[in-house]
Amino acid sequence: MHTTRITVRFGETDMAGHVNNAVYLSYLEEARLNFLQDILQISEFPLILASAHLDFIRQVFFPDRVTIETGICRIGQSSIDMVHQLYSDSQHVLALNSLVTLVFFDYAAQKPAPVPLDWRSKFESQWTAPPQSRTR
């Protein structure tokens, strides 16, 4: 799995003192962009976020650092599912599981496009199991 480290900033916390739930989407976006840049060696991303599922497990507080592990768990015709696992460095625990779906998109035609063949093999090298959802 690919790894991204992020330092929590004070402004990302809410009145309860923990990282606000909306901030996690920004953390995951940063991890996805790092993953795509490192694995595919590209700087333009013909992708749109179609779905994001976040399962909050533990609170994260300022001034913690988080480690996000990113991998691929499904490759479709025009989409991929990406797994993110976010860990609190100070607590040494899994704080968030996430599953996102990205669609390859032809912006000129304004419609989905096939996953490029050369990307498929690079994604397969980053294969991981889908996250386990917690039962409540």
What's the structural domain count of the chain?
A: 1
Q: What range defines the domain where residue 53 resides?
A: 2-124
Q: Which amino acid is at 33?
A: L
Q: Is residue 130 part of a domain?
A: no
Q: Is residue 133 part of a domain?
A: no
| 0.75 surpassed by pTM | yes
Q: Is residue 62 part of a domain?
A: yes
CATH number of the domain to which 41 belongs: 3.10.129.10
**pLDDT digit string, tens, across residues 86-102:** 999 999 999 999 999 99
Q: Is residue 132 part of a domain?
A: no
Q: Is residue 136 part of a domain?
A: no
List the chain residues with pLDDT less than 50. 135-136
